[in-house]
Chain A
Amino acid sequence: MNVFDIIGPIMIGPSSSHTAGAVRLGRVAWKILGEKAVKAKIMLSGSFAETYKGHGTDKAIIAGIMGMHSDDERIKNALTLAKENGLDFSFELIQLPDAHPNTARISLTGENGAECTVQGCSIGGGNILVKEINGLEVSFTGQYNTLLVLHHDKPGTIAAVTNFMAYSGLNIGNFRLSRPKKGGEAVMTIEVDGEVPDYLIQSLKILPNIINVILIKAI
C-alpha cells in the first residue's frame, strides 16, 4: 500500500466498486478481445443487477469496452458514444448462484470477427478479479501483465513454460493452474513483473502441448 491508495484513485463517481471497478471489467474484456468491439452482450448479477442504474455501472462497463480508464470524463456519456461508434450493446439481468455479488459476464464480438466471453467481479476499491475466459476458469486482477497459457495437461508443460520465462529474465508474481479434467485442456494464469517481450510469446506458442498464449497487459 502507498499513500496514493489512500488519497486516490482519481475516478469518476459515485462508487469505486460499482463504477470504477466496472470500467476495469469492461476494459479487461476489450483487452482480451484484442480489437475494437462492435457487439457487446453484458449480463449483470447480484448487486450489479440490482443497483446498476443508480451507480452508472452500465455506462462504466461500456466505457471500459471502448477502452476508457476509470477517470475518463466521457464515462457519463458512454452509452451515447457507443451508439455513435457502432458498438451495439445489450444488458441482461441474471443471477449467478455462487458468484461474488458484483459480477458481470461480458460477451464481445470484434470488428474482425474475434469473440470472447469474460466473467469477472468487482471486489472493492476499484479492484477486480477476472474469473473466467471463454469457459475456462482463471483468476487475475489485471494489475500486472498477465499471460494466459492454454495447453494440454501433460507432464513437463508447466516446467517448460516457466523455464523459458526464467531464461528471459521474467519474474513470476503469481501462478495459477486451472484444469477442468485430468489430461484435458488446461490454462495457466501467470502474472509477471515487468514487460513481456513479443518473442517470448511467440516462443512459448511453439513449445510442445501449448494451444495458445495470450498476453493481457496491465490495465
Chain B
Amino acid sequence: MLSYESINELCQKANEQNKKISEIVLSDESIQMEQTKQELFNRMAESFKIMCQAVNEGKNPNLRSTSGLTGGDAAKMEKYAQTGGLCGSFLNLAISKAIAVSEYNAAMGKIVAAPTAGSCGILPACIISMVESGKCKENEAIMSLFTAGAFGMVIAQKASVAGAEGGCQAECGSASAMAAACLVELAGGTPEQSAHACAMAIKNQLGLVCDPVAGLVEIPCIKRNVSGTVIAFSSAEMALAGIESKIPADECIMAMKQVGASLPCSLRETSQGGLAITPTGIKLKEQVFGAK
C-alpha cells in the first residue's frame, strides 16, 4: 500500500513495477477504497466529463459571475487564440480554457475542485488541451488524473492545499504542480521527470499570496489559474527536455509548507492585504457589498 507521504515513494514504486504512477495509484486506491479499478476509472471519467462541460459552458461571452465582477474573458481569449498570438494557438487555447472553467465557477457553474474550487481551471486546461490537440487520448487523460491526484495527496499531507493555511501557492501552486506531473506522464516522460516538473512548478509559485478582492473567488483567482496553467506547461517542458530541479520535489513541498506558515494572516484568504486592500480592490468590494 502507498502512504502518499512522499513523491519519492511514488517514483520508486512505479519504477519497481515498471508502471506509470497513474497505474500504481489506481491499483492502490482500488484496494484502499475497496472498489474495482473499473469503478474508480468510471468515477474519474465522470469528473473529466464535468471538466469538459465547464470548459464549454465557460466560453459563453455572456457569462457573468454572481457578483457581476467577472465573466466573458474566456470568450475573448479563445477568439484571440485563433490568430496564434505570440505563443501559438495551443498555449493560448489552454489559457482560454483555464479562464473558462474559473469564470464558470464564479458564475455558480458545476466544476470539479482540483484540488480546490479556486484553482479548478488548471488541470482541465492542461489535460483537455492535450486531448483536443491530439497529443493524447481521452482515456489516457482520465488516467493521468490519478497521477495528479497522488501528487496532490502528498502535498495535502505534507504541506496544504488550502489558501487559508498556505496562501495561493497552496491552491494554484499545488494545482499547477499536479498538472505538471501529469502532463509529463501524458507526454511519455518518466516518473522522475514528473517529480522534477512538480518541483519546478512549486518553485515558480512559492510565496504566492491569497488576497481575493471582496473575499470572492474571482479577482485575482481567475487569472492565477492562467499563470498556474502556463507554469505547468513550462515545468513539464523543462522536465521532458531533461532539465532537473536541483531541489527535489519533496523538499520543495517542505519549503512550501514553511513559506505558507510564514505568511501573515492578512495574506491568507482573509482579504486584509495585497490586492484586496488596493484602492480599486476596496472600490470593487463596495460595488458588490455596499460601503460600510
Residues in chain A within 8 A of chain B (CB atoms): 1-16, 19-20, 47, 50-51, 53-56, 59, 71, 73, 75-76, 124-126
Asked whether, in the complex, the Cβ of B66 is within 8 Å of the Cβ of A4, the reply is no
Residue from the list B50, B66, B148 in contact with A55, Cβ < 8 A: B66
Given A3-B146, A8-B47, A14:B218 Cβ within 8 A? yes
Asked whether, in the complex, the Cβ of B33 is within 8 Å of the Cβ of A2, the reply is yes
Task: Kindly report which residue of chain B lies nearest to residue A47, judged by CB atoms.
Answer: B215
C-alpha gap A55/B66 in the complex (Å): 7
C-alpha gap A193/B178 in the complex (Å): 33
B203-224 CB mask vs A (1 if < 8 Å, else 0) is: 0000000000011111000000
Number of B residues, CB within 8 Å of A: 52
A residues less than 8 Å from B149 (CB atoms): 3-4, 6-7
| Distance of A132 from chain B, by nearest CB (Å) | 24
Given A3-B149, A54-B288, A16:B108 Cβ within 8 A? no
Given A12-B108, A14-B117, A50:B289 Cβ within 8 A? yes
Task: Kindly report which residue of chain A lies nearest to residue B32, judged by CB atoms.
Answer: A2
Asked whether, in the complex, the Cβ of B288 is within 8 Å of the Cβ of A125, the reply is no
The 4 closest A-B pairs by CB, nearest first: A13-B105, A3-B149, A6-B152, A54-B67
Residues in chain B within 8 A of chain A (CB atoms): 4, 25, 29, 32-33, 40, 43-44, 46-47, 50, 65-67, 69, 104-118, 120, 123, 145-146, 148-150, 152-153, 156-157, 161-162, 164, 178, 214-218, 288-289
C-alpha gap A13/B288 in the complex (Å): 18
Task: Kindly report which residue of chain A lies nearest to residue B162, judged by CB atoms.
Answer: A124
Given A7-B47, A7-B112, A8-B113, A13:B289 Cβ within 8 A? no
| Distance of B260 from chain A, by nearest CB (Å) | 15
B residues less than 8 Å from A59 (CB atoms): 108
| Distance of A82 from chain B, by nearest CB (Å) | 16
